[in-house]
Chains A and B, each alone.
Chain A
Amino acid sequence: MTLTEFIQIIMGFIGSLGFAILFNIRGKRLLFASLGGLLSWLLFVLLGNFLADEALRYFIVAMIISAYAEVMARILKTPTTTFIATSIIPLVPGSALYYTMAHAFEGDAENFIAKAIYTLQLSCALALGVVVVTAFTRLVYRLKEKRGHH
């Protein structure tokens, strides 16, 4: 891990903490919600040692983060949204979106399309990772509930 990456992880944590405050999260939940942001970028950086493809890394990190959110939500008895909304913050492709716009208005078609596709890839990978875990958790709970009735 380089110093730049270390600084990034800390900044990701601060960013998540800021959003957690804006979402009015308090107490113990504030800590674990912001830690999710730290975790997400830490994982992204660590996975970079094995995987070059960023979209794939986004997908994997999003899945792990959602699992973390589901577990924390059960432990602290609170909605999963608390941890998902804050943990994904460092993964939101703000920079890619900005450069997409910038290239568009510079009339730089080639770079615009490349950046736009990149932004889309990242957002889709992120959302899909979250969705996969959400769907899986719901399936498990539905099965559990059904068994409970019989």
Chain B
Amino acid sequence: MRKIFNCIMDIGEQMLICGAEVHRVEDSINRMCAAFGAERSDVFIITSSMVVTVYMPDESVYTQTRRIKGIGTDIEKLHGLNRLSREICSEKLTPEQIRSEFREILNLRSYPLWVECIAYMAVAAAFAVFFGGGLSDAAVALVIGCIVRFIVLIADKASMNKIFTKFLCSFAVSSLALVGMKLGFIDSIDKAVIGNIMLLIPGVGLTNGLRDLFAGDSIAGLLRLIEAVLTALAIAAGYFLFVVTMGGALK
């Protein structure tokens, strides 16, 4: 059981890191423990930590805690983990089988950097137009979107605080849009900035937070909400710094 419990914890931890809701992870862990004959499993998960205790029929008790750092969104891995946890529940896999499948899932590729770069550019340009911008706004938003991807890349390499990264990005976006305006490509920075703000805004965090909150996982939900609010504030702060330092050039 000890080996299996390790596997279950690993799966749960990765699900959380890949962006699953707390409710979902707790449910999966409970089911997997039950599938291996646990009499009772107590699972407590918030976005930054998980505590699980399993009680086996032979009176042995196992507890593990995991500290979770850095939650992102990787649906492909999440899909794999989800499938694996279903498999574990329906057919008894040996710890070795679970391990090898788990390793395979962790090695799943993410899109290469250049594809991500195009995605950033497409999102920024699309939303510049979406919110009423013209082609020139889209073009400027597109270029800035690409630069934002590289700022994020450098920030990640330096393992910079996520919220501070948003602050920096927001400042950079507004300043670069101003450059675009001064060069005469666009009449106002609004649409180009909005397109890029869509890249930074914590829309998913907010909805996931509220989903957790209303599902009864209040602490996890609140943590996610606070993070979303802080991120929004960081974006505003970046814009504020821009207005204070360069706002005069806007007129």
Say how far B35's CB is from chain A's closest CB, in angstroms: 15
When the two chains form their complex, are residues A17 and B203 in contact, meaning their CB atoms are under 8 A apart? no
Say how far B221's CB is from chain A's closest CB, in angstroms: 10
When the two chains form their complex, are residues B129 and A105 in contact, meaning their CB atoms are under 8 A apart? no
- List A residues 121-150 near B (Cβ within 8 Å): 123, 126-128, 130-131, 134-135, 138
- List B residues 222-251 near A (Cβ within 8 Å): 232, 235-236, 239-240, 243, 247
When the two chains form their complex, are residues B232 and A97 in contact, meaning their CB atoms are under 8 A apart? yes
Tally A residues with Cβ within 8 Å of B.
Answer: 45
When the two chains form their complex, are residues B20 and A79 in contact, meaning their CB atoms are under 8 A apart? yes
Of A24, A29, A95, A128, which one neighbours B194 at CB under 8 angstroms?
A95
When the two chains form their complex, are residues B77 and A24 in contact, meaning their CB atoms are under 8 A apart? yes
Q: Contacts A14-B122, A21-B111, A22-B119; is A127 near B129 (CB within 8 Å)?
A: no
Say how far A133's CB is from chain B's closest CB, in angstroms: 10
Q: Contacts A24-B111, A89-B203; is A105 near B240 (CB within 8 Å)?
A: yes
Say how far A97's CB is from chain B's closest CB, in angstroms: 7
Interface string of A47-86 (1 = CB under 8 A from B): 0000000000000000000000000000001110110110
Query: Could you give 19 example pairs across A and B, Cβ below 8 Å?
Result: A15-B127, A15-B198, A78-B79, A79-B20, A79-B82, A85-B75, A89-B198, A90-B130, A92-B203, A94-B127, A94-B131, A95-B194, A97-B201, A98-B190, A101-B235, A102-B239, A123-B206, A126-B207, A131-B210
Residue A43, interface by CB 8 Å: no
Residue B73, interface by CB 8 Å: yes
Beyond A18-B123, A25-B76, A77-B83, 4 additional pairs, beta carbon < 8 A: A22-B116, A24-B111, A78-B82, A97-B232
The dominant DSSP class at the A interface is helix
Q: Which residue of A lies closest to B193 (CB)?
A: A98
When the two chains form their complex, are residues B198 and A94 in contact, meaning their CB atoms are under 8 A apart? yes
When the two chains form their complex, are residues B204 and A85 in contact, meaning their CB atoms are under 8 A apart? yes
Interface string of B204-220 (1 = CB under 8 A from A): 10111011001100000
Q: Contacts A14-B122, A24-B110; is A98 near B194 (CB within 8 Å)?
A: yes
CB contacts (< 8 Å) of A134 on chain B: these are: 211, 214-215
Q: Which of A17, A26, A79, A90 has the most CB of B within 10 A?
A: A79
CB contacts (< 8 Å) of B207 on chain A: these are: 84-85, 88, 126-127, 130
Say how far B66's CB is from chain A's closest CB, in angstroms: 20
When the two chains form their complex, are residues B130 and A15 in contact, meaning their CB atoms are under 8 A apart? yes
